[in-house]
């Protein structure tokens, strides 16, 4: 199976394949262990394109009852497992170095999700490993790694990128890169909550459930606009954890003026997968726009590869709705009318050929 597919092929209208995928992922998130038979008249090529495009093929290899139809997916799943085991082993070694030099750090997103929330590490692909440090420790980290023979392959706005033992590490000193939201989520908030968790390869510093959800939601919405099934599956898996302290998440989001963003993102995931978390979401209060179902529909159509001018406008309007701070709204406005952004969106809407694969598994 090719790593990249054109998701717009066969996406002219809602299909049986989309309904099946949506239902199966919802059951997976809720812990319903069942292998469902494929519906009759299913377009196998369309289904296969969707699950590989959205990086959820490994999950579906466990969900489809007709094993001979997915037997050729096994190498893909085994590659994920081998990669994740190497990621885990190398990350454990990296934390040992950081501990020895008194540099506080914590793993975020993929490394935690694959090892502690997915039933098996082979189900959750990772492009890289995200680790957060304090801004004041970045030079010390750089020098420490250089002493060990590791030099950054990239120097980015808020992170160093390293390739260590064939694992790409993004060493962040800011959880959010986007300027319009960077001050909403400071490193100390996450680092001060870190917990030591055991794995077969050793110990990792990880975020507690509530902080992990905060990290995953902000990253998926602000950096990626909820653009893949894998990202929203991550959010769903965290949402359904019985020990999740919803009030903590809601109180924090209100404090930093992100309650609109969290209410929308969690509401969309709940609606898309039918997770039954309406009671918990009501704790946010009545803050959703009146046409929220239309906005949910626009995001869903975007996921399936059906992007329209009307849907795009709704999604852009939603960016203003979730931006509660004046400076965030202003930066959002400037981004909307950036010439390069306008040109990119025009080409995308005219050609209807989105190439959004990139790093969808972080």
Q: Concatenated DSSP letters for 256-321?
A: TT-HHHHHHHHHHHHHHHT---HHHHGGG-S-S-TTHHHHHHHHHHHHHT---HHHHHHHHHHHHH
Least confident range from 194-198, 209-213, 309-313, 325-329: namely: 325-329
Does residue 355 or residue 240 have the better pLDDT? 240
Rounded CA-CA distance 259/210 in Å is: 14
Cβ atoms of residues 332 and 180 within 8 Å: yes
Residues 104-130 have a mean pLDDT of 95
CB-based contacts of 98: which residues, under 8 Å, 6+ apart?
104, 105, 133, 141, 144
- What mean pLDDT is reported for the chain? 88
Asked if residue 102 belongs to a domain, the reply is: yes
Residues 29-47 have a mean pLDDT of 81
Radius of gyration for the chain, computed over Cα atoms and rounded to the nearest angstrom: 20
pLDDT of residue 281: 96
Q: Per residue in 163-186, pLDDT tens?
A: 999 999 999 999 988 888 888 888
Rounded CA-CA distance 195/348 in Å is: 43
Planar angle of CA 153, 156, 158, nearest 5 degrees: 130
Does residue 32 or residue 132 have the better pLDDT? 132
Asked if residue 158 belongs to a domain, the reply is: yes
Rounded CA-CA distance 310/90 in Å is: 46
Q: What is the DSSP letter of 164?
A: E
DSSP character string of 108-124: ETHHHIIIIISSSGGGS
Rounded CA-CA distance 340/353 in Å is: 17
126 pLDDT exceeds 90?
A: yes
Asked if residue 266 belongs to a domain, the reply is: no
148 pLDDT tier (thresholds 50, 70, 90): very high
Residues 7-28 have a mean pLDDT of 79
Percent of the chain with pLDDT over 70: 86
Count of structural domains within the chain: 1
Asked if residue 97 belongs to a domain, the reply is: yes
pLDDT of residue 339: 61
Asked if residue 96 belongs to a domain, the reply is: yes
Cβ atoms of residues 198 and 85 within 8 Å: no
Q: Per residue in 135-145, pLDDT tens?
A: 999 999 999 99
Asked if residue 256 belongs to a domain, the reply is: no
CB-based contacts of 276: which residues, under 8 Å, 6+ apart?
270
Rounded CA-CA distance 268/274 in Å is: 10
State the maximum Cα–Cα separation within the chain, in Å, rounded to a whole number. 60
Cβ atoms within 10 Å, residue 146: 11
Asked if residue 123 belongs to a domain, the reply is: yes
Whether pTM > 0.85 for this model: the answer is yes
Domain at 126, CATH number: 3.30.460.40
The parent domain of residue 98 ranges over 78-208
Cβ atoms within 10 Å, residue 351: 10
162 pLDDT exceeds 80?
A: yes
Asked if residue 276 belongs to a domain, the reply is: no
């Amino acid at each position: 199976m090719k790593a990249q597919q054109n998701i717009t092929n066969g996406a002219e209208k809602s299909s049986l394949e989309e309904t099946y995928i949506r239902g199966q992922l919802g059951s997976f998130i809720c812990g319903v262990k069942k292998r469902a038979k494929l519906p009759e008249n299913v377009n196998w090529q369309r289904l296969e394109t969707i699950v590989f495009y959205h990086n959820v093929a490994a999950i579906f290899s466990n969900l489809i009852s007709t094993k001979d139809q997915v037997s050729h997916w096994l190498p893909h799943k085994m590659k994920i497992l081998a990669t994740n085991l190497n990621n885990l082993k190398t990350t454990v070694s990296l934390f040992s170095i950081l501990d020895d030099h008194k540099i506080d750090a914590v793993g975020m997103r993929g490394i935690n999700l694959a090892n502690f929330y997915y039933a098996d590490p082979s189900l959750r692909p990772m492009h890289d490993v995200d680790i957060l440090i304090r801004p004041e420790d970045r030079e010390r980290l750089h020098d420490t790694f250089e002493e060990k023979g590791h030099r950054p392959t990239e120097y980015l706005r808020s992170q160093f990128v390293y390739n260590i033992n064939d694992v790409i590490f993004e060493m962040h000193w800011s959880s959010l890169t986007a300027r319009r939201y960077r001050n909403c989520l400071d490193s100390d908030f996450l680092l001060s909550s870190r917990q030591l968790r055991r794995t077969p390869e050793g110990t990792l510093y990880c975020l507690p459930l509530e902080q992990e959800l905060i990290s995953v939601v902000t990253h998926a919405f602000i950096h990626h606009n909820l653009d893949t099934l894998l990202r929203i599956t991550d959010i769903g898996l965290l949402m359904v954890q019985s020990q999740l302290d919803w009030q903590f998440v809601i109180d924090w989001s209100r404090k930093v003026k992100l309650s609109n963003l969290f209410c929308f993102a969690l509401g969309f995931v709940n609606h898309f997968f039918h997770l039954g978390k309406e009671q918990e979401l009501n704790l946010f209060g009545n803050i959703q726009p009146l046409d929220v179902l239309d906005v949910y529909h626009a995001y869903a159509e975007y996921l399936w590869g059906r992007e329209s001018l009307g849907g795009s406008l709704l999604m852009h309007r939603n960016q203003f709705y979730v931006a509660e701070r004046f400076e965030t709204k202003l930066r959002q406005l400037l981004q909307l009318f950036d010439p390069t952004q306008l040109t990119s969106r025009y080409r995308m809407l005219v050609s209807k050929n989105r190439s959004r694969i990139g790093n969808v598994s972080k």
